[in-house]
Amino acid sequence: MASSSSNLISLKTSDGTVFKVERALAKTMKTVQAIIEEADANIYMIPIHNVFSHHMDMIIDYYKLSVAGKSKEFSVEKLDNDELKDFLLAVHYLNMEDLFEVLTQAVADRLEKKSVGYVRKYFGIENDFTPEEYAAIRKKNDWAFKGDDIEPEEDEEKQEE
Amino acid sequence: MEKMTPLYLPIELITQILLRLPVKSLICFKSVCKTWFTLISNPNFANSHFKFSESTQTLRILSISAIPTQIRSVDFEVLFNNHSNSLNPNLSLPQSYFPLQIKGSCRGFIFFNCSSNNYIWNPSTGFCKSLPLSPIGSNFGTYSYLYGFGYDHSRDDYLLASLYPALAADVSSHLEIFSLRDNAWKEIEDTPFPYWSPYHYPKLGLLFNEALHWFVSRSSSLVDVIVSFNLMERKLLEIPIPSDFGDYLLDIGSWVFGEFLSLWAMRNRIVEIWVMKEYKVHSSWIKNIVLSIDTLPTKCFFPIYSTKSDDVIGTDDGSGLVKYNNKGHLLEYRTYCDDPRGSQVVMYTESLLSLPGDHEQV
């Protein structure tokens, strides 16, 4: 089945599932769009690495909502932190502007009032400050760590792991 | 279901996430690791972040009370949704900077004066720099005068303005501008400033449409006008006030109501709010709201901020913030400061910006 004569584009995810999506949806994926434009002949199937079928399900949900003018109803609340990061990477790979905005904002919202320790765990980052350096930065910016709504920091000793 | 959970996000993704965080979180997250410290302290990041959040940022109030010296940064939403009566001081400046007088705010920086020094301070980053006093200023002493603080984006330059009014009909007035980039005061010679301030206390210029605005009187005729100083063109322009503005006013000020230049006029029991629907067009002035200030303990009110639903929020020149709706009905009253003498108040935004030419990491 040649994809050029229909309005559907076939996308194959990393886990082997084929999704037939509307051309308009494929257009929101700049990476896919570039592949289509670069191909001399018509492509039957476009493989999308790093993207799994559960990602595509959510992408299609978002697309349907935004076509209906209801993109604000799209929610990633049910995703845990790793799932959200994972989805963000997939959308980043596909280079989808609107959805990328939504997801980066969702991650930012989750991090906003969290402690430094939480953020390190979230991104898998090691603390490379010495205790003295860390203490100096904390002292200088003490105001930012205060507030009823902010998660308290762990003790300095716990930072060295 | 096979799932890849890479632990590391590439730095450009992390940057995109960080751009969407508020300044306070970013200051905290400087201590996550050295890479993040460098990234967040980078002036380019600060510029991108400022541009990104410019339209969505809530304005905040900075309140500085004298005895004891306390500094509070107040978010309007939080204050009016919060049921506790006052907020704890949450910012600090070394004691040597007090007593101080706030003279303006722009792009996250506060311009203040202490003893005989001028300072520019970013409360979010803690950066504070002293600036020279104007040469004329040192001669004039502490005469009441007009001043302002603004930004010229064509040169990425911050400007301070100092106006020494004509004290008599035959004495000339002086307009001086300090450019941060040039690090020098310069008198605007070919722009005479034949105005004086009708009110005997220093008045801060309103930054609007890239110009500073002051309510003044022409010294020759005592006609009141608004004078605007365009920061890019460095030119003065007169803007007429409403024809039926009236007399016997206790105080007058300018502020921004929604997207419009607005004048407020305080009389004995009321405050009138006038709005210029079309900038610089005299006939477009309308008297928008009349508020009763009788019930306020201080019998005083200066509007400073309008919400998206056109509610008017202002200070009672004491320790409280007052909210009226656009029909003039008093909606809410909240105190934010314990000092009954009140505090100096200025609107500001939070920013990570550093001054052009300064690459000191904060």
pLDDT digit string, tens, across residues A62-90 = 999 999 999 899 999 999 999 999 999 99
B114 to each of B101, B111, B131, B175, B178, how far by Cα in Å?
Answer: 6, 10, 11, 21, 17
Report chain A residues whose CB lies below 8 A from the CB of B74.
none
* B18–A108 C-beta distance less than 8 A: yes
* B2–A15 C-beta distance less than 8 A: yes
Nearest by CB to residue B24, choosing from A120, A125, A144, is A144
Among all residues of chain B, which has the CA nearest to that of A92? B13
Return the pLDDT at B2: 42
Report residue A107 as tokens: 């991650």
- Taking only the tens place, the pLDDT of each residue in A91-111 is 999 999 999 999 999 999 999
Among all residues of chain A, which has the CA nearest to that of B18? A108
CA distance B163 to B191: 12
The phi and psi torsions of B202 (rounded to 5 degrees) equal -60, 135
- Taking only the tens place, the pLDDT of each residue in A125-142 is 999 999 999 999 999 888
- Taking only the tens place, the pLDDT of each residue in B108-123 is 999 998 887 889 999 9
Closest residue by Cα to residue A125 from B36, B19, B15: B36
| Residue A3 pLDDT exceeds 50 | no
Beta bridge partners of A152: none
Q: Hunting for tokens 């500085």 — which residue is that?
A: B64
Report residue A83 as tokens: 């799932």
* Peptide bond just before B89 cis, omega within 30 deg: no
Nearest by CB to residue B22, choosing from A112, A116, A134, is A112
* A50–B4 C-beta distance less than 8 A: yes
Report residue B128 as tokens: 């504070």
- Taking only the tens place, the pLDDT of each residue in B40-78 is 999 999 999 999 998 777 788 888 887 778 888 888 777
Biggest alpha carbon–alpha carbon distance for chain A: 66
Q: What percent of chain B has pLDDT over 90?
A: 40
* A124–B18 C-beta distance less than 8 A: no
* B18–A86 C-beta distance less than 8 A: no
CA distance B347 to B59: 6
Instruction: Please report the residues numbered 31 through 60 in chain B whose beta carbons come closer than 8 angstroms to any beta carbon of chain A.
Output: 31-34, 36-37
Closest residue by Cα to residue A155 from A138, A140, A141: A138
CA distance A134 to B257: 44
CA distance B311 to B273: 12
Q: Hunting for tokens 């460098």 — which residue is that?
A: B38
Closest residue by Cα to residue B146 from B201, B189, B93, B94: B201
Report chain B residues whose CB lies below 8 A from the CB of A145.
28
Closest residue by Cα to residue B289 from B303, B273, B309: B273
Give, in degrees to the nearest 5, the angle at Cα B227 between B222 and B231: 155
Q: What is the ipTM of this complex?
A: 0.89
- Looking at the complex, does the CB of residue B128 fall below 8 Å from at least one CB of chain A? no
Report chain B residues whose CB lies below 8 A from the CB of A124.
7-8
- Looking at the complex, does the CB of residue B3 fall below 8 Å from at least one CB of chain A? yes
| Residue A22 pLDDT exceeds 50 | yes
- Confidence bin at B191 (pLDDT 50/70/90): low
Beta bridge partners of B276: B261, B285
* B31–A126 C-beta distance less than 8 A: no
Q: What percent of chain A has pLDDT over 90?
A: 65
Return the pLDDT at B3: 45
| Residue B192 pLDDT exceeds 80 | no
Kindly report the number of other CB atoms within 10 A of residue A110's CB atom: 17
Nearest C-alpha of chain A: how many angstroms from B22?
7
| Residue B278 pLDDT exceeds 90 | yes
Nearest by CB to residue A144, choosing from B14, B17, B28, is B28
Return the pLDDT at B244: 84
The phi and psi torsions of A53 (rounded to 5 degrees) equal -65, -35
